Structure 1
Amino acid sequence: MKIIILSGCSGWRLWPLSNESRSKQFLKLLNRDDGSKESMAQRIVRQIRETINPNDDSLFFVTTESQADSIRNQIGPNVNIISEPFRRDTFPAIAMACEYLTFEKKVDKNETIIVLPIDTHADDEFYKQIRIIEALLESEPKCIALIGTKPTYPSEKYGYIVPDSDGINVKEYTEKPSLEKAVNLIKIGSYWNTGVVAFKLGYMLEKLEDYYSSAEIDSLESFLLEFNKLPAKSFDYEILEKAGNMKFIVYEGKWKDLGTWNTLTEEMDYLNSGYVRQGEECENTHVINELSIPILVLGAKDMVVAASPDGILVSDKHKSSYIKPYVQQLDARPMHEERKWGEYKVLDYNQYGDEMKSLTKHLTVKAGKHISYQRHFLRDEIWTIVDGRGELLIDGEVRTVERGDVAYIKKGQKHALKASQDEDLQFIEVQIGAELIEEDIERFNWNWNP
């Protein structure tokens, strides 16, 4: 069995804590039994390992390159990542996963493939159902298996499984129906689809031949040439609504899709995070503050307030599920990103009368890690070390730096920074130039341990 976790979602509905590179699945907002916090990505991997216990080569993440560093930081440096060239929804993502397993991992076509969305929130018993649908496919390999759960209200956001009279076969599948149709589907005994999909690898490869000939695909590289031709649709619309042979089992325990602030705050057993003060008259209001300035909330009821370097959200909890189109109108760069070496936050941005600009960042380089040896052509940079120790590299010359040291890096100069092995290194970076963009970079190799 190979387990595919879909992690390509951008998570606009959890803005401003989530952005294009720091998606909702990486926010450490969920409490563990020991009182520590974990992200959706960490939680689902932990639960899969504790209940199913797959070996490390059986678990794969499908995502875009912009999220790969966050996955490695949270799950581990050796995690299997299937990197999409660009985001095109879940049908192309699953198609790529199947071709990757076929050509790169040489997985047998009789292997069972389990696909899970990363934003599932359920108890451990839910993941034990995976073994049941795996057994279901052994008896009937030419089908797709799902896990359904009983709806608690009519929703336009989920897929609905209409059961056949035997309670095992799927008579019909409807993805995200209108509210009126959702009401009718519940009346006839339909179930929500929990997002778990299981199939034999060979069976799905046969399905994909409707989109391209297997004779034309003899490597992952040849598949990638066809990738942008695949319909940019969800797997539910493109495959499940059209599939003729599907089976399902019913899960009766706790299950939830943590796609919005409303559903996420229901699973948070604390009201405030960060520098926050709420008045006693506030009711059912969650405040999450990632800024260093205080947030004071008075008289709020059923509200969510969230603040990060990307912006500030103040919303009724129910209305927060409709945030996506508004956020997509905000033409702003991500102000907080995780990288394989650490993370950065944008502190300030200014444009001056002579069209010059300045951008100020706070960067943390993890112990023993380093940022790449690089140069820029459009900007100068000033680095001020504020905590920790490390090695500064400029044009081939290495020197030790610590708190209080300052380096002025002119455009065109090659530069890098490495933290010491025993502590993180933090520094402030001020960029100055007429154009300040992340793409203004050329990277070079450097051996830190000659």
Structure 2
Amino acid sequence: MVKLVLLSGGSGKRLWPMSNDVRSKQFLRILPRPNGEGLESMLQRVWRQIGQAGLAANDVFVCASKPQVEVIHAQIGEIDVIEEPARRDTFAAIALSTLYLVDEQGMDPDEPVVVCPVDHFVDDHYFQEIQNLGPILLREGAEMALMGVWPTEPTSKFGYIVPEAPADGDCFRVKRFVEKPERAVAEELIRQGALWNCGVFCFQPRTIVRILRDRGLPSTYAEARRGFDQFPKRSFDYEVVEKLSSIVAHPYRGTWSDLGTWSSLAEQMESEAVGRAILSQCEDTHVVNELGLPVVALGLKRAIVVATPDGILAADKDMAAGLKDVVAPLDNRPMYEERRWGRYRVIDYQLLDDETEVLTKCVELLPGRNLSYHRHKWREEIWTIIEGEGEIVVDDRWQKVAAGDIVRAPQGVWHAIRTETGMQFIEVQRGRGLVEEDIERKYLTWEELAAVLPGIPR
């Protein structure tokens, strides 16, 4: 059984205002689930497809930056996450993941591992094809096996894998790579049997370890974590793949898209509207609304309208491809986040005349979850329970809470909250320097807290 590493990319603004530094495109719950069972994210779709393809959960790993770990666990459960110390492109991420598998998981250095992006929209059989890469790599005696997509059009959006000769069987030997060519060049490459490069790599870990040692880079997992900044901040293709002499490629025929623009993402939406929205006399127009207020679109053609706590976008679908550059100057804190305990949405922010900051959030705590026992140095918090019931501990004192109750946690005082059935509350933060880093945690789980504080029911 092949080991699979899913690369969870960094932040991005191509799908602003839904995507940001924490909420990358793979976490956006906007795709229809099978049989009309609601919406799912690209991460959840990929995880479901992996299970259907017969890959065991303990053979699948996700490599991600620290800010993404919480939302990954919230969406697909307690999977093994290889945490990047910093964002340094795919070469560093794949090197770290390979060393983790060998040193921490005891993987045989001769056993093939497959690495692929987590944010591609593909057919279910894509992950069946991925499992063929290991046997192909060993059979062909190659240093690297790639999976490429049969092109559906000559485009300059993607790189191309060019064969030495047309595929004979299930793979071909790779002659060279061409990065995002002009249309006329792309047409000629397709005639030669070239494939789109979709960023799927299969190799034996010993190949990567050898390259790291030859280049004087960290070659154990412990060294890689301590010296992560020693890895060049460049792609795996550039640092490794293009420098190898023996590479094969396996063709994949089927749906493939990175859904990197609002136009491509809208094509996969089951409905023209997500959230509270009315569309009248519109053509090829989609609305995504995460706010409580209604959004009305009247007489729009080929447009995308997106309303979230982070901002509002109204754009022509074709022009939305250049959105990243337009919103580049924006550097606001994320106004919506998913965590393993639930989610929150920022409702309001004010800076008072005396320099006091006031931030108001709506927090949803999932059944059986809790916020850690923690305190803040620079702010107080006031919780107003609006739905559900649960229990709180403030300054070592326990009590039950329900809708209508108000709880105050003064600056520097330990506090925690838990619900068995689910809960929503309004959190008002008041202080100076309202940042997520202003938190000191004492106990992460309710069981830890109940074990040391008398009077808390277990």
TM-score by length of 2: 0.92
5 Å matches for 1:227-246?
227-246=228-247
The 3 A distance-change label for structure 1 pair 318 and 438 is same
* One-letter amino acid matched to 1:222: E
- Would you say the 8 A contact 1:374–1:414 is kept in 2? yes
CA distance in 1, matches of 2:146, 2:116: 11
What amino acid is aligned across from residue 264 of structure 1 in structure 2?
L
Task: Report the CA distance between 1:307 and its aligned residue.
Answer: 1.0
**Equivalent position SS for 2:52:** helix
Aligned match of 1:444: 442
Question: Equivalent residue for 2:51?
Answer: 49
Q: Is 1:262 aligned to 2:263, yes or no?
A: yes
| 1:181 Cα deviation after fit | 5.0
Secondary structure, aligned partner of 2:227: helix
Distance in 2 (alpha carbons) for counterparts of 1:166 and 1:120: 26
Unaligned runs of 5+ in 1: none
| Preserved CA contact (<8 Å) 1:119 1:259 | no
- Paired with 2:324 and 2:371, the residues of 1 have a C-alpha distance of 33
What aligned pairs does 1:3-18 form with structure 2 within 5 A after superposition? Answer: 3-18=4-19
Residue range with higher mean Cα deviation, 190-199 or 397-406: 190-199
Tell me what 1:365 maps to: 365
CA contact (8 A) 1:17 1:308 kept: yes
Are 1:347 and 2:347 matched, yes or no?
Answer: yes
> For residue 191 of structure 1, what is the amino acid of its counterpart?
L
| Structure 1 residues 449 and 309, CA gap change in structure 2 (3 angstroms) | same
Q: 2:206 aligns with which of 185, 202, 207?
A: 202
Q: Is the 8 A contact 1:4 1:60 kept in 2?
A: yes
Q: Percent identity of the aligned residues? A: 42
Per-residue CA distance 1:66-121 (angstroms, 9 max, x = gap): 111111111112x1110001111111100100010111011001111111111111
Give the match for residue 102 of structure 2.
102
Cα distance, 1:360–1:297 mapped onto 2, change above 3 Å: same
Q: How does 1:272-283 map to 2 (within 5 A)?
A: 272-280=273-281, 282-283=282-283
Q: Which amino acid aligns with 1:196?
A: V
Which residues of structure 2 form unaligned runs of 5+?
A: 452-458
Once residues 179 and 80 of structure 2 are traced to their aligned partners in structure 1, the CA distance between those partners, rounded to angstroms, is: 30
Q: Residue type of the partner of 1:376? A: H
Q: Write the distance in 1 (CA, Å) between the matches of 2:320 and 2:215.
A: 37
* Aligned mates of 2:366, 2:415 — CA distance in 1: 18
- C-alpha separation in 2, matches of 1:155 and 1:23: 25
Following TM superposition, where does structure 1 have runs of at least 4 consecutive aligned residues deviating by more than 6 angstroms?
A: none
Q: Deviations over 1:274-312 (max 9, x none)?
A: 1111112x1111100000011111121111111110111
Q: Where do 1:403-418 residues align within 5 Å?
A: 403-418=403-418
Deviation at 1:178, TM superposition (A): 5.5
Map Cα deviations across residues 338-363 of structure 1 (whole Å, 9 max, x no partner).
11111111000011222222110001
**Match for residue 327 of structure 1?**
327
**Map of 1:293 onto structure 2:** 293
**Alpha-carbon RMSD:** 1.8
Shift of 1:20: 1.4
SS in 2 for 1:400: strand
Contact 1:211 1:230 in 2 (8 A): no
Q: What pairs with 1:24-173 in structure 2 (closer than 5 Å)? A: 24-36=25-37, 37-51=39-53, 53-77=54-78, 79-167=79-167, 168-173=172-177
Distance 1:157 1:242 in 2: 23
Secondary structure of the corresponding residue to residue 283 of structure 2: coil
Sort the Cα spacing of 1:312 and 1:210 in 2 relative to 1 into closer, same or farther, 3 A: farther
Secondary structure in 2 matching 1:101: helix
Shift of 1:182: 4.1
Q: What count of residue pairs does the alignment treat as equivalent? A: 442
| TM-score normalised by L of structure 1 | 0.94
Distance, in Å, in 2 between the alignment partners of 1:245 and 1:315 is 46
Looking at structure 2, the residues matched to 172 and 239 of structure 1 have their Cα atoms a distance apart, in angstroms, of: 13
- Aligned in 2, Cα 1:401/1:44: closer, same or farther, shift over 3 Å? same
Letter in 2 for 1:22: R
Please state how far the C-alpha of 1:166 moved relative to its aligned partner.
4.6
TM superposition shift of 1:180: 6.4
CA contact (8 A) 1:274 1:290 kept: yes
1:223 aligns with 2:227: no
Contact 1:395–1:414 (Cα < 8 Å) also in 2:
yes
Q: Deviations over 1:137-170 (max 9, x none)?
A: 1213442111222323343432211111153011
2:165 and 2:240 mapped to 1: Cα distance? 22
* Contact kept in structure 2, 1:99 and 1:220, CA below 8 Å: yes
Are the aligned partners of 1:174 and 1:241 in contact in 2 as well (CA < 8 Å)? no
CA distance in 2, matches of 1:354, 1:338: 32
User: Mapping of 1:357-436 within 5 angstroms?
Assistant: 357-419=357-419, 421=420, 423-436=421-434
Q: How far did residue 9 of structure 1 move?
A: 2.8
3-state secondary structure, aligned to 2:178: strand
Shift of 1:174: 2.5
